[in-house]
Chains A and B, each alone.
Chain A
Amino acid sequence: MRDAYVVGAGQSAYGSFPDESYRSLFRTAVEAAVDSVDHGIDLGAVDEAYVGTLGVGGRQIGLSAPAVTEHVGLDGTPATRVENACAASGYAVRQAVMAVRSGMADVVLAGGVEVMTDLSGDTVRYWLGVSGETEWERLSGTTFAGVYAQMASAHMREHGTTTDQLSAVAVKNHDNGARNPKAQLDFTCTLEEATAAPTVADPLTLYHCCPTTDGAAAVLVASEDVVDDYAADPVRVAGVGAAADRVGLFRRDSYTSIPASRRAADAAYDAAGVGPADLDFAEVHDCFAIAELLAYEDLRFCERGAAGPYVESGATEPDGELPVNTSGGLKSKGHPIGATGAGQVVEAFDQLTGRAGDRGLEAPAVGLTHNVGGSGGAAVVHVLEREDRRRAGP
C-alpha cells in the first residue's frame, strides 16, 4: 500500500462574509493550499477531488462538488461530494487518502466549504437540526446544542463534571484562537464570563458553544511516488481511523462517550503505530465544550470520567503535555460545518511545517485531528507525522 502525504493545506479566514459566496470561499482555500506547496503545484495535476459540505441553506445540494471545483478550473476532474454532517471534510480527506493508497490517484484535492451566516435565525436552526436523528430525536424538540447538553447532563451526573470545567475549555480555546489570524472569534474570555454567559441549553452557556461560520478549507494529498515533486517537508498520513454509530443519541450504548470517536481513534493509533502519549498536539472536535471533554476521554488522553480535572490541570494548554486545539478549535476558530475537518488538517499541517506563527509549537513530530459528525453518528481521526522528526527523536 502506497503512503499518502499532505503536501499542501490552506483555508479561507473563518467568519461571516456577506460579500463572499460558497464558491469564492472555496477558491480562496484552494489558492492558499496551492501557495503552501513547497515546490509549487499546477492544479492540473489533481486527479480527483472530494468536497465536504452539508449544504446549509440548501444553496447547492445536488452536484455541490463540481459546482465548486469548476470555480477553480477543475471542471474536467472527477469531483464527489462527501457528506457526514460536521465530519464531511474529515471524511473527504480520508477519501483522498484512500484514493492515493489504492493507486487510482497521485494527487487529490480534499476540501470543504460552508456558508451559514447569511440566513435567518430560524433557517439556521432548521439546518443545524438536520443531522440529528429526525423522526424521534429532532421531533422531541431538541437542537444540536440540546443533544450535546443532554450528554453534558449525563456526564455531570455520572462523573461530577462541573460548569467551570466546561468553561475551562472555552477559555483555553479562546486564548488559542486569539492568536490565529484565520479565527472567527479573536477575543479571549475569563472563566467567570464563560460560566455566567446566557444559557443556550442547560448546562451549556453561549461560551460553551461554537459559532456559525462561513469558511472553506482545502488539503492536497499526494502519493509517495510524487511527494518529492511537491514537498520539502512532507507530512505523512500515518494513520486513519473512522467509525459510524447510531445517529440518535438515545439509540447509543453510552451518553457520556462518543463510541465512534473511540473506535476511530483506536484504529488510527493502531495504523500509525502510536498511542496518545506519542502525540505532540491534537485538533479535536469541540463544537461544544462538552465535546472536547468527551474527546479527551474517547481519544484516551485521560481516563473515562477524568476529562474535567484533566482540562483544569492545564495539560491541554499550548505549553502543556498535549496541546489541544491550538487553532482555537471549532469554539474560537469557527465551525463552517463542511470545512471543519479539512480545516483541522490545515492546522496540523501548519504546526508540522512551521507555518503556525505565534501559536506554533516547538518542532512537533506527530499530531492528531478528530472530526465528529452530528452527535457522534460518524467520526474520523487522522494521525499526521513528520517522519524526519520522529526518526530523529529518542
Chain B
Amino acid sequence: MSRGVLAVGAYAPASRVPAAAFEDAWGRFDAPGVETTAVPDADEDALTMSVEAARRALSAADADGATLDALAFATTTPPLAEEDLTPRLGSYLGAPADVAGRTYGGHTRAGVDALLDALGREGTALVVAADCPAGEPDDPREHAAGAGAAALLVGPDAPATVVETAAATDPRPGTRFRRAGDDRLDGLDAGRYDRAAFVEPVEAAVDGLDDADVDAVAVQAPDGRLPYRADIDDEAVAAVETVSELGDTAAASVPLGLARAFEAGHERTLAVGWGSGAGAVAARIEGAAPVEASLSADRELDYAAYLRRRGDVVGDVPDGGAAHVSVPSWRRSLASRHRHEAGRCPDCGAVAFPPAGACPDCRSPADFEPVEPARTGTVEAATTIGEGGAPPEFAATQARQGAFGVAIVAFDAGNEAVSVPVQVVGEAAVGDRVRAVPRRIYVEEGVPRYGLKALPVGD
C-alpha cells in the first residue's frame, strides 16, 4: 500500500437548529436541502473543533501527536485573521516542536487542497479542516451555515489512497465572498451565474479524471441543492452528504463527506472540492480508512437560542474588566491549559496541578516531571453559575450560552489523581463523570485564550 489516508476523525457541535425555526422567524428558509444546521457553542470555534477532530483521527489510528511531522489547518473562519494557529493546535495534540505547520484558507476548497498537498509530501501529516461560517441573519448563507471538522491522518502504507486528481478553474467573482475585516459571508445571489460558478468547475474537474466510476461522492455542499445541480451521480452524493444535517461546513464539507464514505465502507470514493472564485479539484480514492466520528446531535435550539449562540442579540463585553493573566504568563501554562499537564515531584512522587511552585505534599521546591492526566475524570465539587451571575470575563459567553457549571474534577494521573478547577459545558453534580474538551476560555487584550472544559459523559 502506498501513501494515503491512515485514519479519519470527525466532529460536529451537538446543538442543531431546524429549518422550521427559520421559517417561523422569517416566513421563509433560504437554504434548500438543509434540514438542520450544527451550531457551535459560544466557546467553540474552528480551532477548538479542529482539536476535537484531530484527537479522534489520532485515536482511530491509535497514534500519538508526538509522531507527527506536519500539521495542516484548513478553515475559512480562523478565530484570528492573522496568526498561525497550528502551534496551538499542535500544543493541544502534543505535537513535536519541529512539526511543519501549514495553514489553508480563503475559500471552501481549502480542506481538499490541504489534503492533496499533504499527500504530496513526506512523513506523517495530520490535515485538519474545521469551519463555522456565518452571515447576516437574513442571508441565505447564514441559513445554510453549519459547523464541523474533520481530520485526516496521512502517511505511508495507508488503507485509502488517492489514485488520480484533476482541477479546473473559471474566473467567477461575486458568488460567495467575505470582505476584509468582516466576519459575515456575502454573495450577489445572481441565480444562473451563481449556479454556473459552482457547476461548471465541478463538472470540469470530474471530467478531467480518467475514471469517475465510484460508489460515493463527497462533494462541496454550500447548501443541500447545489451538489445535485452538477452532472454527477445523485445517489452517490446523497450516500455521504452531511449538509442536510450539519449545514454548510465550508472547508470541512468534503473531508466530512470522506469520513462518512469511509465509515460506510465505500471503497471507491470521489472527493470534489470547490472554492468560490471559482475553482474545483477532484480526487479519486480507493480503499477506506478507519473513522472515529462524533457527528450526532443532543439538543435542538429554538431561533431565539440560536441568535443568542451566534451573538446576534448579545451586547458587548461588560465593564468591570477581566481577570488579567498576561499573555506571557498564560504561555508558561500552555501544556496544562491544553493537555492538563501535571507534574510529579522528583523527591516524594506526589503529582501536582499545576506543576509549579512547591510540591503540595513534601513542600520541596520541586522541578516537576511532566505527567499527562487522563482526559476523563470525576466531579469532586460543583455548582452552577446562573444567568447573569458570571464574572465579567465570562458574561458575554454566558449571554450567548446560558448558565454554566464550575467544578473541581479529579483526573487520574499516574498512580494518583490531580484536582483541576474547570468550567462545565452545561451542568454537573458531585460524582458525575466528565471529559476534558477543548474550548476557548476567554479573550483578553484581543487574544483568544484556549484551554479545556468539562463535558458530562454520564456514568
Binding site for B on A (CB under 8 A): 120, 122-127, 129-130, 133-143, 145-146, 149-154, 156-157, 199-204, 246, 248-251, 255
Contact = CB atoms under 8 A, between A and B. Distances in A.
A127 B319 CA distance: 12
B181 interface: no
A153 B383 contact: yes
16 contacts: A122-B320, A123-B320, A125-B391, A136-B354, A139-B393, A139-B442, A140-B407, A141-B385, A143-B389, A149-B383, A150-B383, A200-B386, A200-B389, A249-B408, A251-B360, A251-B419
Contact of B390 (A134, A141, A156, A200): A141
B383 A137 contact: no
A133 to B, nearest CB: 8
A213 B420 CA distance: 32
A129 B323 CA distance: 8
Given A150-B383, A202-B383, A125 B392 contact: yes
A10 B320 CA distance: 32
Contact of B382 (A122, A129, A134, A150): A150
B376 interface: no
Interface string B309-321: 0000000001111
Given A139-B442, A255-B381, A134 B323 contact: yes
Contacts of A134: 323-325
B323 A154 contact: no
Contacts of A204: 383
B380 A141 contact: no
Most chain A beta-carbon contacts within 10 A, residue among B324, B360, B386: B386
Nearest to B330: A135
Given A141-B394, A201-B386, A250 B419 contact: yes
Contact of B381 (A120, A139, A150): A150
Contact of A139 (B325, B408, B431): B325
Interface string B410-438: 00000000011111000001110000000
Nearest to B410: A250
B136 to A, nearest CB: 29
A82 B422 CA distance: 31
Nearest to A158: B430
B379 to A, nearest CB: 9
Contacts of B360: 246, 251
Given A153-B383, A255-B380, A139 B354 contact: no
A133 B420 CA distance: 12
Contacts of B391: 125-126, 129, 138, 141-143
Nearest to A125: B391
B441 interface: yes
Nearest to A253: B360
Contacts of A123: 319-321, 392
B329 A141 contact: no
B294 interface: no
A56 to B, nearest CB: 11
Contacts of B381: 150-151, 153-154, 249, 255
A138 B392 CA distance: 11
Contacts of B393: 139
A140 B430 contact: no
Contact of A201 (B320, B385, B392, B451): B385
B321 A150 contact: no
B420 to A, nearest CB: 6
Interface string B442-459: 100000010100000000
B320 A249 contact: no
Contact of B407 (A125, A127, A130, A150): A150
Given A120-B319, A249-B421, A135 B385 contact: no
Contacts of B419: 250-251
B386 A250 contact: no
A245 to B, nearest CB: 11
Nearest to B325: A135
B44 to A, nearest CB: 15
Contacts of B333: 135
A249 B419 CA distance: 10
Interface in B384-411: 384-386, 389-395, 404, 406-408
Contact of A125 (B320, B408, B431, B449): B320
Contacts of A150: 381-383, 406-408
A145 B389 CA distance: 10
Interface centre among B323, B324, B353, B421 (most CB of A within 10 A): B421
Given A122-B320, A139-B325, A146 B383 contact: yes
CB-based closest 5 A-B pairs: A149-B383, A122-B320, A150-B381, A126-B320, A122-B318
B420 A142 contact: no
A139 B323 contact: yes
A153 B382 CA distance: 6
Contacts of A141: 385, 390-391, 394, 404, 406, 423
A129 to B, nearest CB: 5
Contacts of B318: 120, 122
Given A140-B422, A153-B429, A156-B430, 19 more contacts: A122-B318, A123-B321, A125-B395, A134-B323, A134-B325, A135-B329, A137-B421, A139-B442, A140-B406, A140-B407, A150-B381, A150-B383, A153-B382, A201-B386, A202-B383, A250-B408, A250-B421, A255-B380, A255-B381
Nearest to A251: B360
A377 B384 CA distance: 23
A203 B333 CA distance: 32
A375 to B, nearest CB: 11
A143 B385 contact: yes
Interface in B291-334: 318-325, 329, 333
Contacts of A143: 385, 389-391
A23 to B, nearest CB: 24
A248 B323 CA distance: 15
A150 B428 CA distance: 11
A138 B380 CA distance: 17
Given A125-B391, A126-B391, A249-B421, A157 B383 contact: no
B389, B422, B423: residue with the most chain A Cβ atoms closer than 10 Å: B389
Nearest to B449: A139
Contact of A146 (B329, B406, B422, B429): B406
Contacts of B383: 142, 145-146, 149-150, 152-153, 201-204
A149 B394 CA distance: 18
Contacts of B408: 150, 249-250, 255
A360 to B, nearest CB: 38
A133 B421 CA distance: 10
A358 B323 CA distance: 44
Contacts of A125: 320, 389-392, 395
A138 B385 contact: no
Contact of B441 (A126, A130, A139): A139
Contacts of A145: 383, 389
A142 B386 contact: no
A197 B39 CA distance: 34
A140 B389 contact: no
Contacts of B322: 126
B391 to A, nearest CB: 5
A199 B405 CA distance: 13
A154 B380 contact: yes
Given A125-B392, A141-B391, A248 B325 contact: no
